């Protein structure tokens, strides 16, 4: 058998079910890998000492014995939720699990610990954390992407078999692309966000990061509380959004995306140029972030990172009338685009226009500009609320597959078909 930590989640489940591996052995293997790698990678902020013991006790469910990580923005009973910020460094342990965590554990998953992130999820690089920035396992000089940086690093480095992330402007899909794994943002509201520290309620999504699309689908089944509905993808009409989404691509990203499109043609699917224009106004998200953080800013403002605080306080400038107007515009946009792009089944774009930058590039005044560039292609699908998945086209780049509301299984099924027929899986 392959090294335990190199198995996919699906392979691990099968090995445990056949009796070839114990759930405890999988948890212990992950803990050993974490002990060897985490000091440099900084993927985990905290670990659960009881994880290995719980693995031996768990003998049921779709995720029986599968070790996972939970972004430290999400409550796990008995553990602090720090949001990678000094603001919450003295927080009391959570008294209850977030609903998404409860569902994972009810299905037999073993929560190894809490993964690192960009402070309060307020950034696309992952470079700001009170516990040190997570490093990219593909190139440890580079960022993981954010904000679910530690979740992506943990999965890519074999420290766990899947992870929970949150996505407000790309925070699942971007780090997945940067670390060469799969990240899935479901339809807005498909996975409960109760027990999750919000960034902006109107855009926040909870979803899985995994090594394969199949693995992401298994996790999504549990998170959404539904049976798997993989679809037979034949003769799909694929929209390719080149305007805006394919402008200014890094050469490696462009080459990977074009290779992917050629492979998609090889599946017998047709490609059609489409345009998707989405407002870049951030008044709604800024106002919602300020509404949540106001009490902490007043009490503990000095504990925020200097790179985070001004962005949160910026939301104070949004007038109530402006928020109401922009929130209504958001609803109208989602209603108008709910079914997706007319004439096509799915939409394809590069996940990010650039490869993950070096960590040192985020120490200067251009850090925010660089983050916005990284998030350019992912944020529109948070505005629309569509499901979108990123699968790797290079070691540190990805293709994004999306579709209209409720088409989660079409998106996953199409991505799985592309993955199976177009790319060699690399871990």
Catalytic positions, written as ranges:
71, 147, 171
Quick check: bond before 103 cis, omega within 30?
no
Q: Which residue has the tokens 């948890």?
A: 27
The two beta strands, 182-185 and 110-115, are: unpaired
Centroid of chain to Cα 294: 26
Residue 220's nearest CA partner among 107, 117, 120 is 107
Kindly report the number of other CB atoms within 10 A of residue 57's CB atom. Answer: 10
Are the C-beta atoms of 109 and 68 separated by less than 8 Å? yes
Q: How far apart are CA 198 and CA 204, in angstroms?
A: 7
DSSP of 152-173:
HHHHHTTS-S-EEEEESSSTTH
Sign of torsion over alpha carbons 200, 201, 203, 204: positive
Among residues 170, 184, 179, 165, which one has the least CA distance to residue 403?
184
Residue 238 to residue 264: CA distance in whole angstroms: 9
φ and ψ at 90, to 5 degrees?
-105, 20
What does DSSP assign to residue 74? B
Sheet bearing 205-210, strands edge to edge: 44-47, 110-115, 67-71, 163-167, 205-210, 182-185, 388-394, 397-402, 346-350, 237-240, 270-273
Q: HSE of 218 in the Cβ direction (CA atoms, 13 Å)? A: 25
Integer angstrom CA distances of residue 221 from 2, 23, 127, 267: 26, 20, 31, 26
């Amino acid at each position: 058998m392959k090294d335990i930590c190199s198995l996919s989640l699906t392979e691990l489940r099968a090995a445990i079910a056949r009796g070839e591996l114990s759930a405890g052995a999988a948890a212990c293997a992950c803990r050993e890998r974490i002990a060897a790698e985490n000091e440099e990678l900084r993927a985990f902020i905290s670990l659960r000492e009881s994880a290995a013991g719980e693995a031996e006790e768990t003998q049921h469910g779709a995720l029986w014995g599968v070790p996972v990580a939970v972004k430290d923005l999400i409550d796990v009973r008995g553990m602090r939720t720090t949001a990678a910020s000094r603001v919450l460094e003295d927080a009391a342990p959570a008294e209850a699990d977030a609903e998404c965590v409860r569902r994972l554990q009810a299905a037999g998953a073993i929560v190894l610990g809490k993964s690192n992130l960009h402070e309060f999820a307020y950034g696309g690089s992952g470079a700001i954390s009170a516990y040190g920035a997570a490093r990219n396992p593909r190139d440890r000089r580079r960022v993981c992407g954010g904000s679910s940086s530690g979740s992506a690093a943990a999965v890519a480095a074999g420290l766990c078999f899947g992870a929970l992330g949150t996505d407000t402007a790309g925070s699942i899909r971007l780090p997945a692309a940067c670390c060469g794994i799969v990240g899935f943002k479901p339809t807005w509201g498909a996975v409960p966000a109760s027990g999750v520290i919000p960034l902006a309620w109107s855009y926040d999504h909870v979803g899985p990061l995994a090594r394969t699309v199949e693995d992401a689908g298994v996790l999504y089944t549990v998170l959404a509380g539904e049976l798997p509905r993989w679809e037979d993808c034949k003769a799909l009409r694929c929209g390719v959004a080149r305007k805006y989404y394919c402008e200014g691509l890094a050469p490696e990203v462009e080459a990977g995306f074009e290779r992917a499109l050629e492979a998609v043609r090889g599946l017998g699917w047709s490609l059609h140029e489409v345009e998707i224009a989405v407002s870049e106004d951030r008044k709604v998200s800024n106002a919602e972030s300020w509404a949540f953080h106001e009490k902490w800013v007043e009490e503990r403002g000095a504990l925020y990172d200097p790179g985070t605080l001004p962005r949160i306080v910026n939301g104070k400038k949004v007038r109530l009338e402006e928020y109401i107007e922009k929130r209504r515009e958001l609803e109208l946009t989602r209603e108008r685009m709910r079914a997706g792009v007319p004439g096509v089944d799915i939409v394809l774009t590069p996940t990010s226009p650039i490869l993950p930058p070096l960590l040192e590039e985020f120490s200067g005044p251009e850090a925010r500009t660089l983050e916005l560039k990284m998030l350019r292609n992912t944020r529109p699908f948070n505005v629309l609320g569509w499901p979108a998945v990123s699968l790797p086209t290079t070691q540190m780049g990805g293709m994004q597959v999306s579709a209209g509301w409720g088409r989660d299984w079409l998106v996953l099924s199409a991505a799985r078909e592309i993955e199976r027929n177009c790319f060699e899986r690399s871990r």
